[in-house]
Copies of this chain bind each other. A is one copy, B any other.
Amino acid sequence: MIVQARGRAGRAYGYPVGVTFPVVGMVGGGQLARMTHEAGIPLGIRFKLLSDTPQDSAAQVANEVVVGDYRDLDTLRAFAQGCDVITFDHEHVPTEHLRALEADGIPVRPGPDALVHAQDKGVMRAKLMEIDVPCPRHRIVADPADVERFAAEGDGFPVVLKTVRGGYDGKGVWVVRDAAGARDAFRAGVPVLAEEKVDFVRELAANVVRSPHGQAVAYPVVESIQVDGVCDTVIAPAPGLSPELSAEAQRLALRVAQELGVVGHLAVELFETRDGRILVNELAMRPHNSGHWTQDGAVTSQFANHVRAVLDLPLGDPRPRARWTVMANVLGGDYPDMYSAYLHCMARDPGLKIHMYGKDVKPGRKVGHVNTYGDDLDDVRERAAHAAGYLRGTITE
């Protein structure tokens, strides 16, 4: 028998009697939403999606899908009706829209006051400086001549330029060697942040999850290996990282989460410098590529913990389940049929964990990732790299 039941937030919907589990509304239909839905299924929660198209990665696998434009406030408001909380697959919802939803009484997690730091790199840098978090030298620059002055203030060129809003995966980022090279960054008319090009040994990520009542958990610090500005491989934990620097990175991420009022998953991308310091590169307030290893390598995945956090449930154990876990992104190659590559990959490695996003294959596009784990790091890395390369088509045996 189906009757009208009442959700936690007192909203009526048609559901079996007694099923009073909350509704999590997620804005954005990408792979992060897809994997968040997957992680939410065991919790028995309802998952509602606002997706750009019915074919988006998450829309293919979820039941309650609203197709609409997240930039339109009326669409967002209609979507939020019947949701107990709103969270995000990406940072692109206009901050003022989030404030409007909050004014409507809808919990938005992370809230606009936190999320603005992941939306605007200028705001992020100003806040991190205010709370004494180590960052690369930086300032907002006005024009190419100002970039030249910024360079002269420090060790000179090269300088990294970033539009303060809208960049990701190397887009909206330029490494320039002189003032003339800086022109492109100013073409979009968006404020531009200049940063020193840090002489780093490697990139790390410190991922934490924080709930509204202030509980927080820290995942092991990972090493993130970029190729052409896109994350290629993540190794958990970061090999050879000193316990001191690891603890420092975790403490730093927990402090950023607290000071910025983050709710949900926070990824703090870090540079490990040649002289043994860590500097904050970027922040992401949502499940993040550097945390995909947790699906198969941690007791509780970043996706499950993100859901728990936005619902203000106690968080799950973030500890690793294996000595080493490696994640390798699967990028699109020239060959569109990745499914037929499963035969080789699965037969070669019965322990391989494939995570595909249901995305159209385009060269260079992230269409999935693989996780491997075990005791021997070289072996674990080789298995992940082989599978990712074979799926992409760059390895053919």
Contact = CB atoms under 8 A, between A and B. Distances in A.
Contacts of A300: 350-351
Interface in A351-380: 351-361, 368
A123 interface: no
Given A42-B354, A44-B357, A336 B20 contact: yes
Contact of A347 (B18, B59, B314, B357): B314
Contacts of A17: 336, 360
5 contacts: A8-B339, A38-B41, A47-B61, A60-B63, A314-B346
A315 to B, nearest CB: 7
A350 B315 contact: yes
A258 interface: no
A281 interface: no
B343 A19 contact: no
The 5 A-B residue pairs with the shortest CB-CB distance in the complex, in nearest-first order: A44-B356, A18-B336, A16-B360, A314-B346, A314-B347
A317 interface: yes
Contacts of A77: none
Contact of A350 (B314, B337, B338, B360): B314
Contacts of A295: 42
A37 interface: yes
Given A19-B360, A42-B353, 13 more contacts: A2-B53, A16-B358, A20-B337, A34-B41, A41-B61, A42-B354, A44-B357, A62-B63, A63-B63, A300-B351, A314-B342, A317-B350, A317-B351
